[in-house]
Amino acid sequence: MARKTKDDQPKKRGTDPNVMGLRGEVIDQPITDTLELNFMPYAMSVIVSRAIPEIDGFKPSHRKLLYCMYRMGLLNGARTKSANIVGQTMHYNPHGDAAIYETMVRLTRDNEALNVPFVDSKGNFGKVYSRDMAYAASRYTEAKLAPICAELFRDIDKDTVDFQPNYDNTTAEPTLLPTTFPNVLVSANLGIAVGMASQICGFNLAEVCQTTIELLKNPDHEILSTMPAPDFPTGGEIVYDPGQMAEIYRTGRGSFPVRAKWRYVEKEHIIEIYEIPYTTTAEAIIDKCRELIKDGKVKEIADMRDETDLGGLKLAIDVKRGTDPERLMAKLFKLTPLQDNYPCNFNILIAGSPQVLGVGDILTEWIAWRTECIRRRVWFDMTKKKEKLHLLEGLKAILLDIDRAIAIIRETESEAEVVPNLMIGFGIDQVQADFVAEIKLRNINREYILKRTEETAALAEEIRDLEDTLGSKRRLRSIIVDELRAVMKKYPSPRRTTLVYARELQEYDDGAAVEDYPVHLFLSRHGYFKKITPQSLRMSGEQKYKEDDALGWYWESTNTAELLLFTDRQQAYKLRAADFSDGKASTLGDYLPGKLGFDEGESLLAAVLCGDYSGTILLFFQNGKCARLPLAAYATKTNRRRLTGAYSDKSPLVAVLPLEEETELAVTSAEGRCVVFSTALLAPKTSRTTQGVQVMNVKKHPVVQVRPLAETAIRNQSRYRVRTIPAAGAKLTDADRGEEQLMFI
């Protein structure tokens, strides 16, 4: 609360946004009033009118600039000085010439910030991948609209979009541009508003158009099949994880790694980097490399320099003899911006409301908006044709008696009575009579009128066709498909950014060599992990756990072992025993949910010793299905600890069992039924998200336990054994139930 003088009276709520009185005194004003009257309008203005892009893919500053250039005739005309464009744009955008010019720079072909540049530029406009390469002043550069801008303004004069007054009410500007392709995904966009932000990565034009076409045909189309990943104008490589990308596509949030492209010139012992991540600059990479060289962390580099020229980006690294270029680049990818994560936050304005949408939802919104644009265009064309048909029908009415029309006009004394007399004489309305009265004297002949009236039949047919189009959702969508195909054909756009899977990359471990020795690994049900040497275990073998905890998994292994931990969020975490210090049986151990960064509320379900990832694991679900997967499906060559999409989310996971050789398993349901079967009946799968095959037929009673048959108390094994799956199983008898059978894995 602000300070208040004794003579001041409290201000009424909402009466005055100022906090200073006429005499300079401080006035009592609640903070809620300040937020409501000052901060909230400012925040909404920034969100809606400045920082967040709309469904056409543009912010207001982009839209105003491009529309001004369109009005200047720069779509088909010659280039003009950028300063001239900036000056004209100030009729629409009052934020100053510097801000307008910076906006234009990013839209140019020479800056290389967009997959599809909208400004055909000439001169020095800098480079998006360079921090120090500044663009020239607007008086030195020239620009015009790129040919693809014809797709931005197509039929803009046919009422396809709404217009609004500019800031000083002297002209009008469009609220959106009627783009014929989903530019909202093609053009990268970054915006920081108040309390929210937006970061949309660019996608390939052809892939976006093809995906939109497929969605128009089939709303359940798998988007990743036609649009596997973003595409950046700076190229580079995306370290591709389909599960991770699918999650970004679904939620509109997340991040993925992007790395540079390089080649090794063996004769000169030079590594050339020719494409870098979109999120960094050449100068930032060089600065970091020099810092590492100075600190002695990278000793393989003799020199590094920027050899960028008109041919494009090139960073040259002179390496010392005997250096393994693959290993050196693996180190640089880990320690420098040569590999970086691109964060995604697909926040766009839908009808003035900011929403974070997945790729499918964005395309659905765009299709709905574009359909309305086409409907408005068809309505506009139909209205114009109806007006023309109406005039021709009036002309047709005088065809039978042209002499009479001439006589009416000649015999009318007052000019103002010509139209009424024609209306009375031929039974036509005022609009038709005006049209007839304005016909030139040379055109009042039978031949001219016959030629004009012959158009009526064709016009009527065209109107019927347009009315049919308006009433047909299928025909409207067919128009969108045709326009998208035309864009793909007219503006070919090969993909710049390639995809590489993590398993194909060499992993760099900057730590010292891991010492290998025998250890015993203990993992409790609640996630406490202990690594104990045999000598320590012999001295004290009694394990300590919390009161409500107990031993869940135990392995005899080595210090180089890796564990795979499965949780209830369809995620798997990798644990390296070497990352943990040797412990004692008398301690609780390391709490893995905190150590590995589990999500809030995430719980441990199962753990598997990975070995060399050559084995097989079985994943059992509550719905009675089982997936047989190779452990290699979880192997990565990076140091990632978390794997998303580790298993199917169709049913909760019950158990994960390693399979060294074919054996018999006992599957038990909550009803007390049991099925004993051989694992040889399970066909192997490759996809981590598969549910596998049905093992046990369950209805209301889910599977609750899976154990090797040899570890159960079942005596009459033939009662439950089946030769084919799925099977309903048999009820466990008291003799076969046993105490152990009630324990979960």
The span from the first CA to the last CA of the chain, in angstroms, equals: 59
Mean pLDDT computed over 89-94? 92
Q: Of 73-82, 457-466, 628-637, give the lowest mean pLDDT range.
A: 628-637
> Rounded distance, CA 675 to CA 698, Å?
11
Q: CB atoms < 10 A from the CB of 718, how many?
A: 7
| Residue among 618, 609, 743 at smallest CA distance from 680 | 618
Q: Give me the pLDDT at residue 146, please.
A: 96
Q: What residues are labeled active site? A: 140
State the average pLDDT for the chain. Answer: 88
- Over the stretch 642-655, which tens digit does the pLDDT of each residue have? 888 899 999 999 99
**Residue of higher predicted confidence among 632 and 370:** 370
pTM of the entire predicted model: 0.65
What gap in Å lies between CA 419 and CA 435, rounded to an integer?
A: 9
Reduced to 3 states (helix: H, G, I; strand: E, B; else coil), residue 6 is coil
* Strand runs labelled E in 294-395: 301-306, 315-319, 339-345, 347-350, 353-356
CB of 656 closer than 8 Å to CB of 566? yes
Give Cβ neighbours of residue 668 (< 8 Å, ≥ 6 apart). Answer: 674, 703, 704, 705, 706, 707, 732, 741
User: Which part of the chain is CATH 1.10.268.10?
Assistant: 376-489
Cβ proximity of 252 and 357 under 8 Å: yes
Q: In the predicted model, is pLDDT for residue 8 greater than 50?
A: no
Mean pLDDT of 277-300: 90
Q: Is the pLDDT of residue 726 over 50?
A: yes
Within 10 angstroms of residue 596's Cβ, the number of other Cβ atoms is: 20
Model confidence at 509, pLDDT cuts 50, 70, 90, reads: low
Residue bearing tokens 């016959």: 450
Looking at the domain 261-337, which fold is it?
Answer: Gyrase A; domain 2 (3.30.1360)
* 573 vs 594: CA distance, rounded Å: 12
Please, are residues 673 and 704 in contact by the beta-carbon 8 Å criterion?
Answer: no
With cut-offs at 50, 70 and 90, classify the pLDDT of residue 501: confident
User: In the prediction, which pLDDT does 4 show?
Assistant: 40
- Band (pLDDT 50/70/90 cuts) for residue 191 is confident
What does the pLDDT read at residue 55? 95
Alpha-carbon torsion angle 696, 697, 701, 704, nearest 10: 10
State the pLDDT confidence band at 26, using cuts at 50, 70 and 90.
low
SS3 331: helix
Rounded Cα–Cα distance for residues 628 and 635 (Å): 16
Instruction: Tell me the pLDDT tens digit for each residue of 448-498.
Output: 777 777 788 889 999 999 999 999 999 999 999 999 999 999 999 999 999
Could you tell me how far CA 690 lies from the centroid of its own chain?
24
Residue ranges of the chain assigned to CATH 2.120.10.90:
616-638+649-745
pLDDT of residue 124: 94
Indicate whether 682 pLDDT > 50.
yes
117 upstream amide cis, omega within 30 of 0: no
The string of pLDDT tens digits covering residues 382-400 is 999 999 899 888 878 877 6
pLDDT on residue 606: 92
Residue type present at position 413 = E
* Fold (CATH) for 616-638+649-745: Neuraminidase (2.120.10)
Does position 611 have pLDDT exceeding 50, yes or no?
Answer: yes
pLDDT tens track for 221-263: 999 999 999 999 999 999 999 999 999 999 999 999 999 999 9
How far is Cα 55 from Cα 368, in angstroms, rounded to an integer? Answer: 10
**Superfamily name with CATH number, domain 52-177:** Topoisomerase II, domain 5 (3.90.199.10)
Residue range 622-637: average pLDDT? 89
What digits encode the pLDDT tens for the residues 123-177? 999 999 998 888 999 999 999 999 999 999 999 999 999 999 999 999 999 999 9
80, containing H or E segment: strand 80-81
Nearest Cα neighbor of 377 from 211, 588, 227, 153 is 153
Q: Give the tens place of pLDDT for each residue, 94-131.
A: 888 999 999 999 999 999 999 999 999 999 999 999 98
3-state percent helix, strand, coil for the chain, nearest multiple of 5: 35, 25, 40
Looking at per-residue pLDDT, the higher value among 206 and 414 belongs to 206
Task: Express each pLDDT in 689-698 by its tens digit.
Answer: 899 999 999 9
Q: Give the model's pLDDT for residue 510.
A: 54
Q: How confident is the model at residue 276 (pLDDT cuts 50, 70, 90)?
A: very high
> How large is the average pLDDT for residues 577-594?
86
Q: Distance between CA atoms of 292 and 278, rounded to whole angstroms?
A: 22
* Residues ≥6 apart with Cβ < 8 Å to 254: 244, 247, 248, 343, 344
Could you tell me the CATH superfamily of domain 376-489?
Answer: Topoisomerase, domain 3 (1.10.268.10)
Numbered ranges of CATH 3.90.199.10 in the chain: 52-177
Residue span(s) of the chain under CATH 3.30.1360.40 come to: 261-337
pLDDT for the residue numbered 18: 47
Closest CA to 127 of 291, 276, 262: 276
